[in-house]
Amino acid sequence: MNKLNQVGLGRRQFVKGIAAAGALLPLASFAPFAWASDVQGNGNPVRENTLSGSTFDIEIAPLPVNFTGSPRTATTVNGLLPGPVLKLKEGDAVTIRVTNRLEEMCTIHWHGIILDPEMDGVPGISFPGIAPGETFVHRFTVVQHGTYWYHAHTLAEQTGVYGALVIEPRDANDVVKVDRDYPVVLSDWTDENPVDVYLNLKKMAGYYNYRNLTVSDEWPITDS
């Protein structure tokens, strides 16, 4: 925010700029699938894309998509990609029931959240993961506030299991007065199998860096 203020760009102007840039995107490319909107690909209504409170029901399930002209299968949270924004409040005891509708084990990890290890959602370390058809109940007391995110701790993260996690402060004096907050989740999509992506990055961390720097990039040749 300090850097934005230095160039005379306030928070409200910044948000308006993002919204304007988003309006320029080719919306037709998203037509085959509802991108975090009010209908699924089959035309049926989905659940709210913002969930608030202290008790949540989360369902991880596959959904056919077509972002690039080739049919693929995404992994959605409550029918959305990205998943719904979860709004909690500092000091609340929350219960989050996560049901796995996939054919393989999956989890949800609450990134950056202070909680007991067995509620953290990391398979093989704090618990075995959520088997197909099973429901795991996360229970913890929220001891912090801020903007975070949740995501799968499996390869399902690459196909859509992620979303924003907003924790409102308990103390009203810590609440920033705004007309409305807009959590921004930046992500991309690839038609590659997540396993192949994982193996490629294991072979070489910069595998997908198509613009590798060279010596001339560090010391560009200039006319004297």
Q: Report DSSP state, residue 195.
A: H
Residue with tokens 């037509």: 31
Q: Can you give the pLDDT at residue 177? A: 85
C-alpha count within 13 angstroms, C-beta hemisphere, residue 177 = 2
Residue 71 C-alpha from the chain's centroid: 22
Give the containing element (helix H, strand E) for 197: helix 194-203
Q: What angle do CA 87, 88, 90 make, to 5 degrees?
A: 145
- CATH T-level topology, domain 32-218: Immunoglobulin-like (2.60.40)
152, two tokens: 């799968």
Every domain of the chain with CATH number 2.60.40.420 lies at 32-218
Tell me the C-alpha distance between 154 and 100, whole Å.
12
Q: Can you give the pLDDT at residue 1? A: 38
What is the chain's pLDDT, residue by residue, as a tens digit (224 residues)?
343 343 344 444 434 443 433 333 333 333 344 444 433 444 444 457 999 999 999 999 999 999 999 999 999 999 999 999 999 999 999 999 999 999 999 999 999 999 999 999 999 988 999 999 999 999 999 999 999 999 999 999 999 999 999 999 998 887 788 898 888 999 989 999 999 999 999 998 888 888 777 666 666 666 55
26, two tokens: 């080719």
Task: Calculate the dihedral angle through the C-alpha atoms of 27, 29, 34, 36, rounding to the nearest 10 degrees.
Answer: -70
Q: Can you give the pLDDT at residue 16? A: 42
165, β-bridge pairs: 86, 148
pTM score of the predicted model: 0.73
Q: Can you give the pLDDT at residue 182? A: 85
Residue type, 87: K
Q: Can you give the pLDDT at residue 175? A: 79
5, two tokens: 């203020």
Picking from 201, 197, 169, the residue whose alpha carbon sits closest to that of residue 90 is 169
Q: Can you give the pLDDT at residue 66? A: 95
Tell me the C-alpha distance between 214 and 133, whole Å.
50
